[in-house]
């Protein structure tokens, strides 16, 4: 076909008669249904009819199909159907690869040929150079005395070897199989031979997924000893894959880990698990002389039924409390299993859930940990009426069970009408009127609301009307290059006193933290089991200063006031008195190199800090420092049982880019209370360029939990990029 195309070019050349600068000749053909056209461009063209030889010279470009040949000189022998090119030869392939050579011979539409002093630029900036090569079938290239490397040469000393390269007697690149194979090969780093192999193969850079070994991780641990993780990736199908990730340790045997993922027509799911058979230990970390099989299984799935409904699950289970932390697989203190179904249709949302928990802390009693089956929610937002008001309805159904302890079943329904309005002066108003009813059936519930005694059982409930009015006035102005925002906010809520009888257990409202995020919430409790009562007013001020260059300072401060104290709130919560603590936040970010955030809760009597949270990020990208500080004052829980103690800690971290390729980091977390100390610290170094990745880190964990003892870990990761 190349012969037919070039013969047509010869006819055109003869008709053109003579030699002209920068001639461009083209011919379109379909004689045997292959390439459709050939286009040639050169500064000069000559034809020797007796020898059947076409010669092109000077910036020669020949395009045929999806291939493009560029050279200083090209000749074509029609009798042998051979094209030769010399001088700055470049052949561009359909897949984006480019072949450079000093000399080449091609035939069969540039699909067959031999080459001398060849260089190949593959995708992803990888390179192969060889003394000579043979191309067959347009997809297989066999190279002799070849070198492969994705590393760039030093611009100052280009004669020096790259960071790493593979030298081989023979290299075969098969584009159809997407493989690069090496025969009698050496791996060199900085020009020094390190590893020899008679045969080695890896996918070419066009491969996105391929079965094979992934980058291993080496390390040393004071608990596990020397360990090595060697993941193997299994590309099962376009929609399935698995990763086998055994972790070999010198002191604790092998942890057999694996992960499986699959995409289905309606969604997808994953499985992640591990098994270990090792020495059994007591709570002091001492070996008992027995062996135990331990493991875990995590799984997640999500599937679409139709445009409205989807369902899924979360599954987490471990063989025992300390397995995950002992082998440093996970740091969770509670594992959650949750099947669910949910649907969204216009302005309606519905969901059904079930919750099962596995407690991993020493004080957890699995028989007293609740499981929830079912938990059903429904939410509806109506269309706006003629004056802009809209209705809402929320319903919740919950059944909570324990093997040993209190049980409760709850049905809650709340309906409301809401009217937002913007006045002519710019004031923003919101009026809401709601009615909520809760019905409980309880068993073995302590009358004080705890779950430790067995007193109350049977039906109980409450009916809660509530009226809310809110006003805010955003005021904006501009002075020079600064835009200013001042917004006073006042919210009034009227509801009856009471509503939290001891017969209603507190299962979902124990985790209360009064702060700036819930200052204007109608109910600051996190769940349904507890409600705020009585008339109250929430008020605050929001402010902001914004520069044209992107700098800003913004924040808010506010307080809540009620006619009389509410003993439903824990002592120390900041809400137990008539006037609450002051809560607020401020953020100062004048430039990208400085970002300061402060959240606080201060007593209304003397502004003593009950909660301080500080976050500071400072420095350019080259040297970035992050500091965090938190102070949380203790709260006495409902019923004056145990209290959580004061918590005070500081976290510091730094990230320094030494050069374009080198980066170091370090950090620590420290408990500042009297019985505290350093919780953990870490440091690490990373080198990464276009062809090589190296990372090392060392960390120390000081926590103790039964057989989990303080531990020091040292890890290494080395990856030669583009080798799979």
Residues 643-668: tens digit of each pLDDT: 456 788 999 999 999 999 999 999 99
Is the residue at 112 inside a domain? Answer: yes
Lowest mean pLDDT among 42-56, 371-385, 443-457: 443-457
Structurally, the chain folds into a number of domains equal to: 2
- pLDDT at site 703: 85
We report the CATH number of the domain holding residue 202 as: 2.60.450.10
The helix or strand, by DSSP H or E, that contains position 25, with its residue range, turns out to be: strand 23-28
Same domain for 11 and 93? Answer: yes
- pLDDT at site 502: 84
Q: How confident is the model at residue 454 (pLDDT cuts 50, 70, 90)?
A: very low
134, 114 contact by CB (below 8 A): yes
- pLDDT at site 456: 66
pLDDT over 90 at 492, yes or no = yes
Pairing of strands 37-42, 53-64: antiparallel
Does residue 44 or residue 439 have the better pLDDT?
439
Is the residue at 134 inside a domain? Answer: yes
Is the residue at 107 inside a domain? Answer: yes
Q: Phi, psi (5° rounding) for residue 614? A: -125, 135
pLDDT over 80 at 284, yes or no = no
446, 461 contact by CB (below 8 A): no
- pLDDT at site 629: 94
pLDDT over 50 at 18, yes or no = no
Instruction: Using a cut of 0.85, tell me whether the model's pTM lies above it.
Output: no
Residue ending a domain, choose from 97, 121, 145: 121
The helix or strand, by DSSP H or E, that contains position 420, with its residue range, turns out to be: strand 407-422
Is the residue at 668 inside a domain? Answer: no
Q: What is the residue-averaged pLDDT of the chain? A: 87
Same domain for 117 and 151? Answer: no
Beta-strand runs (E) in 175-209: 179-189, 192-203
Same domain for 116 and 159? Answer: no
Lowest mean pLDDT among 603-607, 660-664, 703-707: 703-707
Count of beta carbons in the 10 Å neighbourhood of residue 424: 5
Q: How far apart are the first and last CA of the chain?
A: 38
Give the bridge partners for 711, in sequence order. Answer: 701
Classify residue 191 by burial, with Cβ atoms within 10 Å: 0-12, 13-18, 19+. exposed
- pLDDT at site 80: 78
Contacting residues for 363 by C-beta, under 8 A, at least 6 apart: none
Instruction: Determine what percent of the chain is predicted with pLDDT higher than 90.
Output: 54
- pLDDT at site 645: 60
Q: How confident is the model at residue 334 (pLDDT cuts 50, 70, 90)?
A: very high
Alpha-carbon distances of 514 from 301, 469, 635, rounded to whole Å? 35, 21, 11
Identify the domain containing residue 195 by its residue range: 125-207
- pLDDT at site 44: 87
- pLDDT at site 630: 92
Q: Phi, psi (5° rounding) for residue 362? A: -60, -35
Count of beta carbons in the 10 Å neighbourhood of residue 676: 12
Is the residue at 165 inside a domain? Answer: yes
Q: What 3-state class would DSSP assign to 245?
A: coil
Q: How confident is the model at residue 280 (pLDDT cuts 50, 70, 90)?
A: confident
Please give the full DSSP string across 379-446, using - where no structure is assigned. Answer: EEEPPP-TTS-EEEEEEEEEEEE-SSS-EEEEEEEEEEEEEEEE-TTS-EEEEEEEEEEEEEEEEEE-
What CA–CA distance (Å, rounded) separates 75 from 105? Answer: 10
Q: How confident is the model at residue 468 (pLDDT cuts 50, 70, 90)?
A: very high
Does residue 153 or residue 337 have the better pLDDT?
337
- pLDDT at site 635: 67
Per-range mean pLDDT, top range of 21-25, 493-497, 640-644 = 493-497
Tokens of 443: 């068993």
Does residue 132 or residue 27 have the better pLDDT?
132
Is the residue at 633 inside a domain? Answer: no
Same domain for 58 and 111? Answer: yes
Does residue 20 or residue 459 have the better pLDDT?
459
- pLDDT at site 33: 37
Same domain for 46 and 111? Answer: yes
Tokens of 685: 């170094």
What CA–CA distance (Å, rounded) separates 557 from 562? Answer: 18
What is the residue whose two structure tokens read 């607020």? Answer: 584
Q: How confident is the model at residue 12 (pLDDT cuts 50, 70, 90)?
A: very low
Tokens of 393: 């309805």
365, 358 contact by CB (below 8 A): no
What CA–CA distance (Å, rounded) separates 674 from 366? Answer: 32
- pLDDT at site 636: 61
Give the bridge partners for 195, in sequence order. Answer: 187
Same domain for 14 and 108? Answer: yes
Same domain for 115 and 3? Answer: yes
Q: What 3-state class would DSSP assign to 2?
A: helix
- pLDDT at site 451: 45
Radius of gyration of the chain (CA): 37
- pLDDT at site 616: 95
- pLDDT at site 175: 84
Contacting residues for 471 by C-beta, under 8 A, at least 6 apart: 427, 428, 429, 489, 490, 491
Alpha-carbon distances of 455 from 312, 442, 445, 502, 505, rounded to whole Å? 38, 10, 6, 10, 12
Residue ending a domain, choose from 207, 231, 252: 207
- pLDDT at site 673: 84
Tokens of 18: 């003579």
pLDDT over 90 at 295, yes or no = yes
Query: Angle at Cα 346 formed by Cα 344 and Cα 347, nearest 5°?
Result: 90
Q: Which of 702, 699, 697 is nearest to 686 (CA)?
A: 697
Residue ending a domain, choose from 121, 142, 172: 121
DSSP state of 158: T
Is the residue at 264 inside a domain? Answer: no
Same domain for 94 and 162? Answer: no
- pLDDT at site 535: 95
Q: What 3-state class would DSSP assign to 641?
A: coil
Question: For the residues 232-236, what does the mean pLDDT come to?
Answer: 94
What is the distance of C-alpha 652 from the center of its chain?
23
DSSP H helical ranges for 625-710: none
pLDDT over 60 at 7, yes or no = no
Question: For the residues 666-675, what does the mean pLDDT come to?
Answer: 89
Question: For the residues 232-253, what does the mean pLDDT come to?
Answer: 93
Give the bridge partners for 698, in sequence order. Answer: 683, 714
Same domain for 77 and 107? Answer: yes
Alpha-carbon distances of 362 from 304, 321, 358, rounded to whole Å? 39, 8, 12
Q: Phi/psi zone of residue 593: left (φ > 0), alpha (ψ -120 to 50 degrees), beta?
A: alpha
What CA–CA distance (Å, rounded) separates 647 from 573? Answer: 14
pLDDT tens string 551-590: 999 999 999 999 888 888 888 888 989 999 999 999 999 9
Is the residue at 661 inside a domain? Answer: no
What CA–CA distance (Å, rounded) separates 154 from 275? Answer: 47
492, 537 contact by CB (below 8 A): yes
Same domain for 87 and 10? Answer: yes
Q: How confident is the model at residue 154 (pLDDT cuts 50, 70, 90)?
A: confident
Question: For the residues 293-314, what does the mean pLDDT come to?
Answer: 96
What CA–CA distance (Å, rounded) separates 697 from 663? Answer: 12
Same domain for 3 and 103? Answer: yes
Same domain for 9 and 86? Answer: yes
């Amino acid at each position: 076909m190349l012969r037919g195309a070039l013969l047509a070019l010869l006819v055109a050349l003869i008709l053109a008669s003579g030699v002209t600068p920068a001639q461009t000749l083209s011919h379109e053909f379909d004689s045997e249904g292959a390439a459709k056209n050939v286009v040639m461009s050169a500064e000069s063209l000559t034809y020797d009819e007796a020898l059947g030889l076409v010669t092109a010279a000077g910036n020669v470009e020949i395009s045929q199909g999806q291939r493009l040949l560029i050279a200083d000189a090209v000749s074509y022998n029609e009798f042998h159907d051979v094209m030769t090119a010399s001088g700055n030869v470049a052949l561009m392939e359909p897949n984006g690869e480019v072949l450079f050579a000093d000399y080449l011979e091609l035939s069969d539409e540039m699909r067959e040929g031999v080459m001398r002093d060849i260089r190949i630029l593959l995708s992803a900036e990888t390179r192969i150079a060889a003394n000579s090569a043979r191309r067959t079938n347009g997809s297989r290239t066999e190279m002799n005395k070849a070198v492969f490397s994705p590393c760039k040469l030093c611009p100052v000393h280009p004669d020096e070897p790259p960071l790493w390269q593979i030298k081989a007697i023979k290299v075969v690149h098969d584009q159809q199989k997407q493989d690069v194979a090496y025969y009698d090969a050496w791996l060199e780093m900085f020009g020094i031979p390190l590893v020899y192999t008679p045969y080695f193969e890896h996918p070419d850079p066009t491969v996105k997924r391929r079965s094979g070994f992934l980058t291993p991780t080496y390390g040393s641990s004071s608990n596990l000893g020397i360990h090595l993780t060697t993941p193997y990736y299994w590309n099962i199908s376009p929609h399935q894959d698995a990763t086998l990730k055994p972790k070999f340790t010198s002191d604790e045997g092998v942890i057999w880990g694996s992960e499986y993922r699959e995409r289905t027509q309606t969604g997808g799911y994953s499985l992640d698990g591990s098994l270990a058979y090792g020495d059994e230990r007591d709570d002091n970390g001492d070996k008992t002389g027995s062996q135990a099989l331990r493991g875990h299984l995590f799984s997640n799935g999500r599937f679409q039924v139709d445009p409205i409904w989807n369902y899924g699950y979360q599954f987490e289970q471990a063989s025992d409390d300390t397995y995950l932390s002992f082998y440093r697989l996970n740091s969770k203190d509670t594992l959650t299993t949750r099947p669910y179904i949910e649907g969204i249709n216009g302005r309606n949302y519905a969901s059904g859930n079930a919750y099962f928990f596995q407690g991993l802390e020493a004080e957890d009693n699995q028989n007293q940990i609740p499981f929830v089956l079912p938990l059903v929610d429904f939410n509806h937002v109506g269309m706006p009426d003629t004056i802009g008001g809209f209705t809402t309805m929320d319903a919740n159904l919950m059944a909570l069970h324990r093997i040993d302890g209190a049980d409760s079943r709850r049905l809650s329904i709340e309906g409301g009408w809401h009217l937002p309005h913007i006045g002519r002066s710019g004031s923003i108003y919101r009026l809401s009127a709601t009615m909520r009813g809760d019905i409980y059936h309880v068993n073995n519930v302590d009358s004080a609301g705890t779950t430790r005694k067995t007193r109350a059982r049977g039906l109980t409930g409450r009916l809660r009307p509530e009226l809310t009015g809110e006003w805010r006035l955003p005021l904006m102005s501009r002075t020079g290059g600064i835009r200013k925002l001042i917004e006073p906010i006042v919210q009034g809520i009227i509801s009856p006193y009471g509503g939290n009888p001891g017969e209603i257990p507190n299962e979902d409202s124990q985790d209360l933290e009064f702060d700036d995020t819930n200052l204007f919430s109608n109910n600051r409790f996190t769940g349904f089991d507890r409600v705020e009562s009585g008339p109250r007013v929430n008020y605050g001020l929001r402010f902001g200063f914004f520069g044209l260059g992107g700098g800003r300072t913004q924040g808010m401060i506010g307080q809540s006031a009620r006619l009389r104290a509410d003993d439903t709130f824990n002592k120390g919560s900041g809400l137990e008195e008539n006037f609450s603590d002051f809560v607020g936040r401020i953020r100062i970010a004048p430039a990208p190199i400085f970002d300061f955030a402060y959240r606080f809760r201060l007593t209304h009597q003397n502004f003593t800090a009950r909660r301080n949270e500080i976050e500071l990020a400072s420095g350019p990208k080259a040297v970035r420092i992050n500091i965090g500080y938190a102070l949380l004052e203790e709260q006495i829980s409902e019923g004056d049982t145990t209290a959580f103690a004061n918590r005070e800690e500081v976290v510091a971290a730094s990230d320094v880019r030494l050069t374009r390729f080198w980066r170091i980091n370090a950090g620590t977390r420290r408990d500042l209370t009297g019985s505290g100390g350093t919780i953990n610290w870490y440091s690490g170094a990373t080198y990464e360029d276009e062809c090589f990745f190296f990372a090392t880190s060392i960390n120390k964990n000081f926590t103790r939990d039964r057989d989990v003892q303080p531990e020091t870990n040292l890890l290494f990761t080395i990856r030669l990029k583009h080798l799979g």
